[in-house]
Amino acid sequence: MDDFSRNCQELEKYLRNTSFNYKEEMAEATKNCSSKLDVYDLIFGLLFGTLGAVLDTNDKIKDFLDKIHEVSNSDNPSDKNKIIDLFSKILKHKGDWMDQVPVIQEDGRVVSKFVNRNAQEVSKYIWKGSANTPHRIFWGHDIFSLSQDNPFFLEIKQYGFAEGVLQAVRHILADTCSKQGLPIPTSSWWDKVDGDKRTNGLLDYCQRYADDVLGKKQGGGNNEVFNQLFSIHMQDVLANGFACASVAAYCKARNISDEERKQQIVITALAANFLGSAILGAVDKGIPHINWICLFYLTQSTYKLIKASNKNIDILWCKTEELVAESNRLNESVIKKQRETEQDIKYLLSQPDLREKKRSSLMDSFERSQS
């Protein structure tokens, strides 16, 4: 076989093999990055989220958790229900300065009183003696408070460092069990002064909501709204945990290992949980129930989804760069082969006898292929 035929065959073989490799490489890269949800992912994601919303707004669970808080806030926590008895002892917080601070009276007596972040009594504008007083909004329950009422600062001052930090955590967990819940972090940043008293922008918004939407003109309606819109509850934590644990079990049962697909299912469940809780709260009380724990994890899962998606994009980008480099190499090889072929053609044209011989050889090859 002469050089011309050999060059043609080598070029044809190279092009055929290279084209196959391109298709194979891109197909493999695309397959590894595929994160498409199927119908079962959507159905079970919505199911887990909806069940979480039902759990989040269930009155029996709410009463059970509130009982734990009530007993844990007594002098000697004890209850005939073993679960309530156990947790109330663990979460005991009666007498903590996070709730009331000792104030020396003119007659020398020390009395525990509710105060605000200016260390002024707040009994003038909260329901005195009511279990629903919004004292937590004004004092001792915002972990991000930059004032003297930061719960960890208060408990450390009262009990010492190690015991104080532990007691602050106990108290915070106990308060999330109550129906009132725990004010969202940064709630103290919304404080403002109104005449001779200190108020809070979030609480004022809730009062306007109570007045305009619910038609509750009596004092304290604002706190009911605050509990639904701007408080964290243990029930929120349990509902969110149920949804996430259910998704994790589902992914394990179906051997779903792709991170992007996992996060898409989690987001589906948490979105259903969040919206379901808001809708059920609005139907039950006329106030949407905002599950801040769910919203936090929904934001976190969205970030994880973007991160996983970017990772897959990077994989495809790197593979594309490899193929572009290979394409450039192929292009250079084609140009090189083309030049060699042109030289062979010029040589054949300059040699009549050799050209006639090649023509006869090609005709013979063609006739043999047809026979």
Whether the CB-CB separation of 263 and 308 falls below 8 Å is answered with yes
CA 139, 145, 146, 148 torsion-angle sign: positive
Residue where the block lists tokens 């697909």: 261
Residue where the block lists tokens 């930059």: 146
* Predicted local distance difference test score (pLDDT) of residue 20: 47
Q: Is the pLDDT of residue 154 over 70?
A: yes
Write the CB contacts of 218 (distance below 8 Å, at least 6 apart in sequence): none
Q: Is the pLDDT of residue 138 over 90?
A: no
Point out the least confidently predicted range of 40-54, 103-117, 142-156: 103-117
**Letter for the amino acid at 167?**
Q
Whether the CB-CB separation of 142 and 192 falls below 8 Å is answered with no
Whether the CB-CB separation of 225 and 206 falls below 8 Å is answered with yes
Write the CB contacts of 221 (distance below 8 Å, at least 6 apart in sequence): 207, 210, 211, 214
In the predicted model, what is the mean pLDDT of residues 237-257? 96
* Predicted local distance difference test score (pLDDT) of residue 203: 86
HEC per residue, 201-215 = HHHHHHHHHHHHHHC
Task: Indicate the DSSP class of residue 198.
Answer: E
Average pLDDT, the chain: 82
* Predicted local distance difference test score (pLDDT) of residue 118: 72
- Here the tokens at position 238 are 């349990």
Q: Is the pLDDT of residue 146 over 60?
A: yes
* Predicted local distance difference test score (pLDDT) of residue 213: 79
Strands 182-183 and 231-232: antiparallel
Q: Where are the alpha helices (DSSP H) in the chain?
A: 3-32, 39-56, 59-72, 82-90, 135-138, 151-159, 161-177, 201-209, 221-229, 234-253, 259-285, 292-349, 352-370
Q: Is the pLDDT of residue 211 over 70?
A: yes
Q: What percent of the chain has pLDDT over 70?
A: 74
* Predicted local distance difference test score (pLDDT) of residue 13: 64
In angstroms, rounded to a whole number, what is the distance separating the alpha carbons of residues 134 and 149? 15
* Predicted local distance difference test score (pLDDT) of residue 297: 96
Conformation bin of residue 131: beta by default, left when phi > 0, alpha when psi is -120 to 50:
alpha
Q: Where do the domains of the chain lie? A: 3-32+313-365, 39-290
Q: Is the pLDDT of residue 121 over 70?
A: no
* Predicted local distance difference test score (pLDDT) of residue 298: 96
Distances (CA, A) of 185 to 92, 208, 330: 22, 22, 61
- Residue 167, burial from CB neighbour count under 10 angstroms (0-12, 13-18, 19+): buried
Q: What percent of the chain has pLDDT over 90?
A: 47
* Predicted local distance difference test score (pLDDT) of residue 222: 76
Structure confidence at residue 358 as a pLDDT band (50, 70, 90): low
Whether the CB-CB separation of 256 and 245 falls below 8 Å is answered with no
In the predicted model, what is the mean pLDDT of residues 248-266? 94
Q: Is the pLDDT of residue 29 over 60?
A: no
* Predicted local distance difference test score (pLDDT) of residue 6: 63
More confident residue, 193 or 178: 178
